[in-house]
């Protein structure tokens, strides 16, 4: 019977077919390239958590978020186009802070639900903590370091990604339109911006 030490050694060996030669396998190496980090803070300047973005492969990035001190439930999570997190900058229409972070990152100017900066909603547990890790090819890390930078924003409510079926309609608005209203199409009904972090790209 093989001992544990023998099993560990065997796990690191590769048989070269046709030669009978044993060679040490090369350990997996993480992709090299730029990465990005952000510290997410609330309107009082208290740290809520962190965002980290690392190169996953030649076309994708891995996004990792860890938070604490948030209300339990789903929270909209987005990349925004300006790297300024000023809690005193209030949206005149919604009253939400951190308006300085600008709109959602969307280089292709697509529909709201498909915007590059729309990330999966963050699920926060009953103790106020939450974490998520996922891979995306909708933006490159280099795009986050343009002339005005970028930011990550956490919202108070869940993001519906403007996914409102046509059978759910509201009364005609001022334009006579029905279906998803302007607020849904703009923010996915995710509510106020409760956390913001300036994204810093590392090389």
How many helices, marked H, and strands, marked E, lie in the chain?
A: 2, 11
Residue 23 belongs to some domain of the structure: no
Question: Residue 102: what pLDDT?
Answer: 93
Q: Answer whether residue 9 is part of any domain.
A: no
The model's pTM is 0.73
pLDDT for res 195: 97
- pLDDT at res. 187: 56
What is residue 173's predicted lDDT score, i.e. its pLDDT? Answer: 62
Residue 194 inside a domain? The answer is yes
Task: Look at residue 165 and tell me if it is in a domain.
Answer: yes
Which pLDDT belongs to residue 86? Answer: 98
What region does 117 belong to: left with phi over 0, alpha with psi -120 to 50, or beta? alpha
Q: Domain containing 126 — which CATH number? A: 2.60.40.200
Q: Which domain holds residue 179?
A: 35-202
CB atoms within 10 A of CB 104: 20
Domain count, the chain: 1
Give the whole-angstrom CA distance, residue 81 versus residue 180.
24
Contacts of 138 (CB under 8 A, 6+ apart): 116, 117
Is residue 136 situated within a structural domain?
yes
Does residue 24 form part of some domain?
no
Cα 202 to the chain's mean position, in Å? 17
Q: Identify the pLDDT of residue 110.
A: 59
β strands within the chain, DSSP E: 13-16, 21-24, 35-41, 47-55, 61-67, 73-80, 118-124, 130-136, 151-155, 193-198, 200-202
Q: What pLDDT sits at residue 93?
A: 82
pLDDT by residue, tens only, the chain of 203 residues: 444 444 343 444 333 334 444 444 445 555 568 999 999 999 999 999 999 999 999 999 999 999 999 999 999 999 999 999 999 999 988 889 999 999 889 877 655 556 788 899 999 999 999 999 999 999 999 999 999 999 999 999 888 776 655 545 656 666 666 655 555 555 556 678 899 999 999 97
pLDDT for 117 equals 87
Closest to 138 in 3D by CA, of 155, 158, 123, 117: 117
3 located within any domain:
no
Q: Is residue 8 part of a domain?
A: no
């Amino acid at each position: 019977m093989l001992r544990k030490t023998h099993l560990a050694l065997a796990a690191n060996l590769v048989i070269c077919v046709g030669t009978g030669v044993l060679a040490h396998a090369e350990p997996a190496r993480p992709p090299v390239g730029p990465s990005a980090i952000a510290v997410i803070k609330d309107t009082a300047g208290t740290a809520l958590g962190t965002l980290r973005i690392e190169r996953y492969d030649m076309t994708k990035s891995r996004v990792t978020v860890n938070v604490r001190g948030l209300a339990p439930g789903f929270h909209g999570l987005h990349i925004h186009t300006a790297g300024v997190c000023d809690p005193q900058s209030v949206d005149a229409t919604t009253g939400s802070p951190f308006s300085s972070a600008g709109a959602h990152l969307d280089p292709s100017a697509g529909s709201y639900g498909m915007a590059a900066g729309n990330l999966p909603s963050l699920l926060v547990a009953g103790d106020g903590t939450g974490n998520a890790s996922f891979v995306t090819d909708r933006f490159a890390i280099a795009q986050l370091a343009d002339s005005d930078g970028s930011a990550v924003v956490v919202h108070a409510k869940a993001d519906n990604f403007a996914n409102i079926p046509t059978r759910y309609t509201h009364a005609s608005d001022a334009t006579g339109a029905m279906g998803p209203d302007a607020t849904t199409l703009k923010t996915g009904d995710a509510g106020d911006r409760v956390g913001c972090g300036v994204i810093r790209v590392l090389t």
